[in-house]
Structure 1
Amino acid sequence: RSARAFVRGYQGKDVSKEPYKIAACIKHFAAYGAAEGGRDYNTVDMSEWMRREYYMPSYRAALEEGCEMVMTAFNTVDGIPATANRKLMRDLLRGEWGFDGVLISDWGAVKEMIPHGVAEDEKECARKAIEAGVDIEMMSPCYPHHLQELVEGGDVDIRLLDEGVMRILKLKRKLGLFENPHRYADSAVEREVLLSGEHRAAAHEAALKSCVLLQNEGKTLPLANVAKVALIGPFANSDDLLGPWSCMGKREEVVTLADGMRGIAGSSAVTAVGCGGAERLSDEELAAMLDAARSADVVVLALGEDSEMSGEAGCRSKLTLPGRQLELVR
């Protein structure tokens, strides 16, 4: 249901006619969430039955809803990187499922065949990707550097290049980009819509609803009648609160927990003691935090991970609090 809903939301019923709709792209094909150890880009090793039973239905649902694009995964499937996997891309996706839309690599995934150990150089990466059916190489230069040479040297059938180009041209025509290459790229509308009051309110509501209160014993919260609060931990004064996927966010505009709490309770009510990051807590800082806790009515612990510890390619091997944070809790 969610895969279908995403496609409908991005594309509408007819992406060529409805305003402010874009071509949806399902990613990452395939079994990207099943990497060994939960580590992004790692090996995926499972039976075909398990893959088809648990992972493929959501991809298939998005395609049945009319999704225009598919993105290859970083990981291997059956020992072969997805971007070079002809069985996965040509036999299953294009052959069995009949997908004739645009297939794009993930960021730098074509060139990553080299560290995967299946290609010697960029030239071999380009050949294997085009043979697997990848139409667009994203953010690595193997296609522009080597496809012409491969075709002219007879190593790649020009029909493979032609079919990729044709799929891209068909999508551009469907999106109206030949008539208007900058379709909907309107700076006046951008100024009106981006960070508008309506959108800020929706984001605020989503943030509130995503908070999880595990237990509120004795009605500790809200802290309405507390005289003195000690806010301690790595994130007491930190502006690293946007997370790993906020490319347009500005840390200098972040309201820290300390500033936010003081804005509500007053400066004298909140003592905030932090440190230099999730894994950096010195003996002196720990002692200062404990001193602040002893002199307060309530302690609020500001714990967690630095932004680079999560998100794509930022996996950690243990789901514990980093550094000395657990020691602080104890």
Structure 2
Amino acid sequence: MLKKIAIVCLLACSQFVFAQKKPAPGPAYKNAKLTINQRIADLLHRMTLEEKAGQLNQLNGGVFTGPAVNDANQQAKVQMVRESKVGSFLNVTGVKETRNIQKVAVEETRLGIPILFAFDVIHGYKTIFPIPLAEACSWDLPQIEKNASVAAREAAAAGLHWTFAPMCDISNDPRWGRVMEGAGEDTWYGEKVAAARVKGLQGDLDDANHVLACVKHYAAYGLSEAGREYGNVDVSRSALWNKYLPPYKAAVDAGAATVMNSFNLVDGVPATANKYLVDDVLKKKWNFKGLVVSDWGSFGEIVTHGYAEDGKDATRKALEAGSMMDMESKLIIQYLPQLVKEGKLTMKQVDEAVSRVLYYKFKLGLFEDPYRFSDEARESASLFTTANRTEALKAARSSMVLLKNDANALPLKKQLGKIALIGHYAKSKEDMFDFWIANGKADEAVSVLEGLQSKFGASKITFAEGYNADATTNEKLISDAVSAASGADAIVVVIGLSGKLSGEERSLANLNIAEGQVQVLKALQKTGKPVIALINSGRPLVLTQVKDLTNAILQCWILGTETGNAVADVLAGDYNPSGKTVMSFPYAVGQIPVYYNHINTGRPTPEKRDGPFTSRYRDIPNAPLYPFGFGLSYTTFEYANLNCGKTVTKQTQLPVSITVKNTGAYDGEEVVQLYIRDMTASIVRPVKELKGFRKIFLKAGETKTVDFVLTPKDLSFFDGEGNVKLETGKFKVFVGGDSKNTVEASFELK
């Protein structure tokens, strides 16, 4: 009996010892086997109100190492991290910087909640791609997605989790500096590009090679009055739903994790505090489950607009409208706890916002490995690689648009003797780049001069500045340019705008080519030799004068790292240009805004401009100099045999086909574009609307039949509250190489 008791005691003691050695279970939010929602619920339960406010606070970080270690302002930010008062930083880049501040967040705070690092990766992180407006001119959605994926991979390797792209603003106004970030003036095409960019940037977030995408600027920011940054917007609900909202919706449908408020008013209410936009439309109608972040300081600007009394009132109104994270105004961290304690905000409202921040920290795997995006070896191996530069070269070549090519001035013949390359921008790498180059470096890029020297041989290129960095000129600069041209067989002139004048807060009232550059063109034209103009700019410019002074015009935009190599390939004919404009080029500044998909007036101007009392200018044409969808090739294309059914119903689709023939001497690509017009509707529809395109390759002399299908969705539109309208009646269909030069047919929706 005693033996049995001893054995029982021994067993009991061993079980007690085993139980003592077994680790106590950790908090549920650290258990990776639980669902994200379960982990969020547990973490929210543990957080103080002040810690929740911290998760909604995003600060401009900067540098925390080196001399910054002793900087009082930077040390104050580190202390805020220790006190759990920061949920996200922007402008902290590189593995070393992000790892150091992440270490503070996860090892020196009560709950160890990791930081999200965000940065403006607009068209590349280290390898710089063409600006988005140029990239859109490629009409190559797979390449656009690929470009975004390369940028995301580099950004993720450099410790980043989040980028503030893509910009989905539709704009008709090239005075606005930020048109460079968008996809142009067309809504339907803007939807396709927005979705492609989201997919490329964000992927599925499981491989640590993608980053959170951010749809901006929500909403209608591209309609800023007079093209002025941060300007007022006054837009009808019909225009809002039919023209401006669809690209944001397409990006949300593509899975974008975050949406950024715009700076402007909509219906007299700042977008950041606009319940209709954020709560009614984005969250309820579109079922957006992601995070809404303010633009820089836009919480505080609610006061400046005159919509809130002070910062406390602004914070309440922004959160009540559905906005969540406060970028840099520091109002949430100051006022949110007080607003909840006073009953002016509910804990439910706060928890919903915080849960969306936490969701993406869990989704990115940061609770399991806070340093998942902070691998120095990976960073070193991933940035500015040969493979990445190859993609940048492809993108740059396909982004250029050939606007003029009289007497086949291009391509330049390989057996050509000397080429005179004129223009400060041909050599200046600093002027090649815009406001948004992330961590790219100008001195790592290929200039036009370097590209041409490499392609044609340095001995064949004679360079002259022609004009100064500010685009002014003088007699000596012009004389040197003419002298360089005198011994050449062809003259290539790089003109336009410095890249420094493209991007945020770079609005311009004058889009004419600078007088100094025009003087250079006039002097070179007098030599009697072919003059080829390369236009460097982040927006469409007024090229009316340039058109008369040149034999060829190649719109080069701002092309990024591989600029020179891409330009040389096109000039030499090793790449046949295939780009098409995505914004109309104005005939004159006073014509702006000018765009293809306008509404007919009650007194439209006839083609011959001979009708009395019509909607027209007396001094210039109504039409732009170059319309939407326009772009030449070194070959030519002929359109014929447009076929479509005569009737279609609300339940069926309408097949459309056309024959396209390459009638020139070069193989080439053509962007075949399909447009419609709803002839009679309860809300007047545009004179043309893009509803399809195909980018096809044709060998010289080859013919192809190109097929499209028009769906009921293509024939529908929205009323002023976003309800879909599909109305019977007559339609026209147009197919061609641009929005103006088309073949047309008619059908009826019954």
TM tier, smaller:
0.7 to 0.9
- Tell whether the 8 Å contact from 1:229 to 1:296 is kept in structure 2 after alignment: yes
Structure 1 residue matching 2:215: 3-state secondary structure? strand
Q: Please, which runs of 5 or more residues in structure 2 have no aligned partner?
A: 1-191, 523-750
Q: Give the count of matched residue pairs.
A: 328
1:111 aligns with 2:295: no
Measured after TM superposition, the shift of residue 178 of structure 1 is: 1.5
Q: Does 1:196 align with 2:385?
A: yes
Instruction: Single out whichever of 308-317 and 272-281 deviates more from structure 2.
Output: 272-281
CA contact (8 A) 1:40 1:313 kept: yes
Equivalent residue, structure 2, for 1:307: 499
Q: Give the secondary structure class of the aligned counterpart of 1:110.
A: helix
**Residues 233 and 303 in structure 1, CA contact (< 8 A), matched pair in contact too:** yes
Give the deviation of 1:59 after TM superposition. Answer: 2.4
- The correspondence of residues 1-40 of structure 1 with structure 2, limited to 5 A, is 1-12=192-203, 14-15=204-205, 17-40=206-229
CA contact (8 A) 1:26 1:59 kept: yes
Q: Does residue 262 of structure 2 align to residue 61 of structure 1?
A: no
In 1, Cα distance between equivalents of 2:470 and 2:307: 38
Aligned residue type for 1:277: A
With 69-78 and 243-252 compared, the bigger mean Cα shift is at 243-252
Mark the CA change 1:261 to 1:90 in structure 2 (over 3 Å): closer, same or farther. same
Once the 2 structures are TM-superposed, how far is the Cα of residue 82 of structure 1 from its aligned partner?
0.9
- One-letter amino acid matched to 1:327: Q
**Which residue in the other structure is 1:231 paired with?**
421
- Distance in 2, matches of 1:106 and 1:94, equals 18
2:281 to 79, 92, 97: 92
Please give the per-residue CA displacement for 1:45-72, whole angstroms capped at 9, x wherever unaligned: 2211221122222322333343322111
Q: Which amino acid aligns with 1:8?
A: K
Report SS of the residue matched to 2:216. strand
Q: 1:320 aligns with which of 512, 524, 543?
A: 512
| Cα drift, residue 265 of structure 1 | 2.6
Separation in structure 1 between the aligned mates of residue 359 and residue 392 of structure 2, nearest angstrom = 36
> Are 1:81 and 2:267 matched, yes or no?
no
Pairwise CA distance, 1:301:
0.9
Are the structure 2 counterparts of residues 138 and 291 from structure 1 closer, same or farther at C-alpha, using a change threshold of 3 Å?
same
Q: Which residue of 2 aligns with 1:251?
A: 442
SS class of match (1:303): strand
Q: Cα offset for 1:102?
A: 0.9
Matched with 1:285 is 477
Q: 1:19, CA displacement in angstroms?
A: 4.8
- 1:193-239 deviations in Å (ceiling 9; x for gaps): 21111111111111112222331624553253443333222313312
| Cα deviations by residue, 1:239-265 (Å, 9 ceiling, x for unpaired) | 221233212221233333334433443
Structure having the higher helix fraction is 1
Contact 1:258 1:272 in 2 (8 A): no
Structure 2 counterpart of 1:142, one-letter code: L
Contact 1:23 1:69 in 2 (8 A): yes
Q: 3-state DSSP class of the match of 2:299?
A: coil
- Answering whether residue 459 of structure 2 is matched by residue 270 of structure 1, we say no
Contact 1:35 1:44 in 2 (8 A): yes
Question: How many Å apart are 1:147 and its aligned residue?
Answer: 2.7
Instruction: Give the match's secondary structure for 1:289.
Output: helix
**Judging changes above 3 Å, is the alpha-carbon distance between structure 1 residues 145 and 274 closer, same or farther for their aligned structure 2 residues?**
farther
TM-score (norm 2): 0.41
**C-alpha distance in 2, partners of 1:152/1:246?**
44
Q: Is the 8 A contact 2:296 2:329 kept in 1?
A: yes
User: Does the CA contact (< 8 Å) of 1:235 and 1:274 recur in 2?
Assistant: no
| Residue type of the alignment partner of 1:107 | W
Could you tell me which amino acid in structure 2 is paired with residue 227 of structure 1?
Answer: G
Question: In 2, distance between residues paired with 1:302 and 1:66?
Answer: 41
Paired residue for 1:177? 366
Q: Name the % identity.
A: 38
* 2:197 partner amino acid: F
Partner residue of 2:490? 298
- Give the alignment of 1:197-212 within 5 angstroms: 197-212=386-401
- 2:300–2:329: 8 Å Cα contact kept in structure 1? yes
User: Residues of 2 paired with 1:5 and 1:297: CA distance?
Assistant: 43
Q: 1:7 and 1:238 mapped to 2: Cα distance?
A: 33
Which letter maps to 1:258? Answer: L
**8 Å contact kept, 2:466–2:480:** no
Question: What is the root-mean-square deviation in Å for CA atoms of aligned residues?
Answer: 2.7
Instruction: Give the CA deviation at 1:158.
Output: 4.0
Using the size of structure 1 for normalisation, the TM-score is 0.86
Can you give the 5+ residue segments of structure 1 that lack an aligned partner in the other structure? none
Q: Is the 8 A contact 1:231 1:301 kept in 2?
A: yes
**Equivalent residues of 1:7, 1:62 under 8 A apart:** yes
Answer whether contact 2:422 2:494 (CA < 8 A) is retained: yes
